[in-house]
Amino acid sequence: MAARERAKVFVPLAVAALLALHAALALWAVAGKSTTADELIHVTGGYAYWHLDDYRLHPENGILPQRWAALPAVFMAPPFPELTGNPYWKTSEVQAVGHQFFYETGHDHFPMLMAGRAMIVLFNVATGLLIFGWSRRLFGLPGAFVSLGLFVFSPNFLAHGALATSDACMTFFFLASVGAWWRHLHDGRSRWWWLSALVFGLACVAKYSAPLLLPMMVLMAVARAWTAAPLTLLGRTFATRGGKFGAAALSAVGHGLVAMAVIWLFYGFRYSAFNPALPPADHFIRPWEVLDLHIGLPGQVLRAFAAVHALPEAFLYGFAYVLETAQVRSAFLNGNYSTTGWPSFFPWTFALKTTLPVLAATALVAGLAGHRWWRAPALVRPDLYRIAPLAALFAVYWAFSLTSHLNIGHRHILPTYPVLFVGAGALGAWLVSRRALPVAAAVVLVGGQVLEAARIAPHYLAYFNALGGGPENGHRHLVDSSLDWGQDLPGLKTWLDQNADGAPVFLSYFGTGEPDYYGIRARRLPFVNAFKIPQPYVRLEAGVYAISATMLEHVYSPIRGPWTLELEKEFQELRGVEPIFAAYVGDPQHRAELNRAATEAQWRRKWTRHDLLRFARLCHYLRARTPDAHVGYSVFLYRLSSAEVAAATAGSFSDWRALIEGATQAPALR
């Protein structure tokens, strides 16, 4: 068999094997993980769209990935929560309805969740195919395998590519859309116009970040218009720069019309988000009027669209919700807190959560490109033109990210990584050279990527490189979906069964998972399913304390940042009422007497504030203390003695400070 014929057989098989391995690793990893915070609401929202023909439970995220992830559930037909008289249905509280759907309707949610995760893996596989094809076109077959190898063993794509969320889906559509638009600008046949328009339309229902495609398309159209070659679109040829750009603009208008049709299709060609055949609801999760107060002119434009029913109500509301919630959002970076984010947030996340082989490959490619252009300046323009769509994607997306106030997760810059993987294909030329050192360098980079994935497996979500101290120290830099998204309840159950030794267990968990589902019997500290289950009053004592990293860092607590004298004063005042809280909870007769002095709601607010202060005081100590163990790098375990608990949560200010000082001076456990 000739070499060319062997390649025709070997290449597809090798690509298929690598992508199958990627999918298998990703699904194997999540098979031992609980539902992450957003998966519950994505699957619940998607099932409601299919099952109820109602579009208001989770409109602020793309309807396509929600429908796609929930498609297996349609065939499994699990029972949905009762809607009549359901207070959470009336106010569109998707987290609470999702909790009912996953944990209170009598079916096992996990097969449905895993099927949804498998559906999302297909988007990741498709992204891998695009990376391979693009790199092969630019750098040949060796470069394509370098690019694909870096993608297949990327911990970040192994982490998010098998979660029932929208991130992997939108990453695919960003790459596919810029590629289809660029191909359309070079091939005037109608098939490419329709493909580009359809992919753009699907991107618009994948996530509300799709408008970023518009400036990318403009940059590509300018680059295309600047070339000497004429532009042929739908049978007409344009030779001048203005004519070429105008034709591209007219084509973009057509793309917009197709996108509108796709959007209407996904919402069943109905304007109202509310199905009139179902028990009535009061409003979306937040009424339109509340959003209007904060988003100014964009809100007025969306309202104008709504007035004429230009697009479905749920789509317009979801866009408004995203704009409003992106302005102010709690964020954490390197021990600091903010509600409006930092321009440095995503550069830091990139530096900390990108593997060292990818960082090295990116630096090498940049250096090689600079050297090539220094030696042959005439190559700059044609080289940049060849990578114009990738450059536009990377530049526009990073420009937006640097100005974004939504600093909650590294996953938000995932769409830029395929550009780096494709660019790394330039190193593939080394593999066909006869120089040993460059060949060894290329092999080491891909091999290093494999080792990075192996070292962190199966806890891919918790990956941090050595620059940030590895995953053990990740919580000092980033939390939430960059580390602790609620995924480690099964691992916590295993650890407790093997190590708790009958001691009381206290749990503060970040996520939408239900500890009871896993048989975790724990006294619940603040924020465990706080969106639905009222926080009980809990008396603290010696035992095992399991604290999620996000809760340990107090990112979403009203009491975050330094512990002040004002907070200490308030806490000590509430401590004086603590015996009354215990009596209120444990003694019905005493509770009736206390309710004559204040309402139950007033008592609950008071002990909730006490709990928040007490827990914040405890976490200040635990952040200084070395944990006794961890689960998946996202849940930290502490065996606390009675003396520690008393000093941290009931002692004087001087006792508490002495405890923290002693912890900081204690040698770290190895």
447 belongs to a structural domain: no
- Cα distance between the two ends of the chain: 57
**Average pLDDT of the residues in 111-138:** 97
Contact 263, 228 (CB under 8 A): no
Within a domain: residue 195? yes
Answer yes or no: do 419 and 546 share one domain: no
The neighbour count for residue 236, using CB atoms within 10 Å, is 10
CA distances (Å), 53 to each of 44, 98, 261, in order? 13, 16, 18
Residue ending a domain, among 375, 410, 426, is 426
User: Residue 636 pairs with which residues in a beta bridge?
Assistant: 547, 630
What pLDDT is recorded for position 528? 64
Instruction: Looking at the structure, tell me whether residues 217 and 124 fall in a common domain.
Output: yes
Q: Are 474 and 464 in contact (CB under 8 A)?
A: yes
On whether the CB atoms of residues 143 and 426 are closer than 8 A, the answer is yes
- pLDDT grade, residue 349 (50/70/90)? very high
Q: Which helix (H) or strand (E) holds 518?
A: none
pLDDT, tens only, 584-639: 777 777 777 777 777 877 777 888 888 899 999 999 999 999 999 999 999 999 99
Positive or negative, the CA dihedral 122, 314, 109, 532 is: positive
Query: The domain containing residue 558 runs over which residues?
Result: 488-665
What is the 8-class DSSP label of residue 57? Answer: S
Longest dimension (CA), the chain: 92
Alpha helices, H only, 411-488: 417-424, 428-431, 436-456
pLDDT at 358 (0 to 100): 97
Give the distance, in angstroms, between the CA of residue 332 and the centroid of all CA atoms in the same chain: 15
Residues 304 and 388 in one domain: yes
Six token digits for residue 307: 């007035």
Whether residue 571 lies inside any domain: the answer is: yes
Instruction: Please report the DSSP string for 15-51 in residue order.
Output: HHHHHHHHHHHHHHHHTTSPPPHHHHHHHHHHHHHHH
Average pLDDT for residues 326-338, to the nearest whole number?
92
Let me know whether 408 and 492 are in one domain: no
Is residue 401 within 8 A of residue 346, CB to CB? The reply is yes
Q: Looking at the DSSP assignment, which residues form a beta bridge with residue 545?
A: 506, 638
pLDDT at 532 (0 to 100): 64
Relative orientation angle of helices 213-225 and 241-266, to the nearest 10 degrees = 150
Question: For the ranges 267-271, 370-374, 398-402, which has the lowest average pLDDT?
Answer: 370-374
Determine what percent of the chain falls in helix, strand and coil, rounding each to the nearest 5.
Answer: 65, 5, 30
pLDDT, average across residues 238-256: 94
- 201/290 same-domain check: yes
**Beta-sheet strands, E only, within 155-269:** 231-233, 236-238
Q: Per the domain annotation, does 473 fall within a domain?
A: no
Nearest to 496 by CA among 669, 637, 642: 637
Q: Are residues 515 and 413 in the same domain?
A: no
In a domain, 396, yes or no: yes
Q: Are 96 and 140 in contact (CB under 8 A)?
A: no
Mean pLDDT, rounded, of the chain: 92
Amino acid (one-letter) located at 243? G
Q: Let me know: does 669 contact 628? Beta carbons within 8 Å.
A: yes
Say whether both 94 and 213 belong to one domain: yes
* Inside any domain, residue 464: no
516's tokens: 């009871």
d(CA 520, CA 241): 67
Give SS3 for 503.
coil
- 88 token code pair: 């959470």
For 100-112, the pLDDT digits (tens) are: 999 999 999 999 9
Q: Are residues 644 and 549 in the same domain?
A: yes
Q: Which of 426, 450, 472 is the last residue of a domain?
A: 426
Instruction: Tell me what the mean pLDDT of segment 40-53 comes to.
Output: 97
Q: Which helix (H) or strand (E) holds 505?
A: strand 505-508
Domain check: are 324 and 410 in the same one?
Answer: yes
- Integer angstrom CA distances of residue 664 from 387, 472, 485, 565, 620: 51, 17, 28, 21, 11
- The answer to whether residues 163 and 78 belong to one domain is yes
Q: CB of 606 within 8 A of CB of 574?
A: yes
Residue 649 lies in a domain: yes
- Residues 275-324 have pLDDT tens digits of 999 999 888 988 888 887 778 888 889 999 999 999 999 999 999 999 99
Virtual torsion, Cα 536, 540, 543, 548, nearest 10 deg: 60
How many structural domains is the chain composed of? 2
Residue 633 sits at the vertex; the CA angle it makes with 629 and 637, to the nearest 5 degrees, is: 30
Contacts 24+ apart (CB under 8 A), 166-169: 166/42, 166/61, 166/62, 166/65, 166/66, 166/206, 166/207, 167/411, 167/412, 167/414, 168/120, 168/121, 168/123, 168/124, 168/127, 168/414, 169/62, 169/64, 169/65, 169/68, 169/120, 169/123, 169/206, 169/207
In the prediction, which pLDDT does 362 show?
96
Q: Do 379 and 509 sit in the same domain of this protein?
A: no
pLDDT > 50? residue 670: no
Residue 229 has pLDDT above 80, yes or no: yes
462, part of any domain: no
User: At 402, which helix (H) or strand (E)?
Assistant: helix 388-403
Of the three residues 409, 426, 443, the one that is the final residue of a domain is 426
* pLDDT above 80 (res 271): yes
Residue 211 shares a structural domain with residue 84: yes
pLDDT tens-digit readout, 386-402: 999 999 999 999 999 99
